[in-house]
Amino acid sequence: MIVLDTDFFSSFFKIGRLKLILDASGEEKLVIPRTVYDELKRTSFFDEILYKIAFSEDDLSDERYILVKKANLSNCNSFIGPEEITGLGKGELGCMVLAKEHGAEILISDRHARQIARDKKLTAISISTFLLRYKRKRKISMEEIKGIIKDLREKDFYVFSKEVEGELLR
């Protein structure tokens, strides 16, 4: 199971590549906690993603491939300290709860949140790690990588470090 945080979701939506996550990973659905769904409701593109969202497994289809799952944030107290909780958003916390409960991987861009997740023995990966992983597995072509780098820069103002971009393009 893959759980997406708001920032990762937003970046891949803006460049029209949410389905790439499914294709590369082999997953049948993308999962977001209700807390991420609530954050996405405040975006300018929410109406465009609404038809892709399902609230139960039974409602999933080729078109509705984003499953919203409830994440009980009070469960955070059992594995995240209070000082760490205050530094995280509700979307990030919801992702961590679902990852802990389901042994899922979190796709998350925020470095601080990713480090806290890793400190808690959760698998949390960045955009660059996601792209590198699936490039190495030959699930994402070099042409797709080039397009993703360009689109992220132009449509989401997301820029990789020179070292990471070099590794992606190697």
Picking from 110, 117, 118, the residue whose alpha carbon sits closest to that of residue 158 is: 110
Other CB atoms within a 10 A radius of the CB of residue 140 amount to 21
The answer on 7 and 68 residing in a single domain is yes
CATH number at residue 121: 3.40.50.1010
The answer on 86 and 109 residing in a single domain is yes
The answer on 116 and 58 residing in a single domain is yes
**pTM (predicted TM-score):** 0.93
Task: Kindly give, in sequence order, each residue whose CB lies less than 8 Å from that of residue 112, ignoring residues fewer than 6 positions away.
Answer: 87, 88
State pLDDT tens for residues 40-77: 999 999 999 999 999 999 999 999 999 999 999 999 88
Whether residue 99 lies inside any domain: the answer is yes
Alpha carbon 130 to chain centroid, angstroms: 10
State pLDDT tens for residues 104-122: 999 999 999 999 999 999 9
Q: Write down the H helix ranges in 76-161.
A: 82-85, 90-102, 111-119, 127-136, 142-156
- Distance CA(44)–CA(133), nearest Å, equals 30
| Range of the structural domain that residue 68 is part of | 2-128
Categorize the per-residue pLDDT at 165 as very low, low, confident or very high, splitting at 50, 70 and 90. Answer: very high
Alpha carbon 14 to chain centroid, angstroms: 13
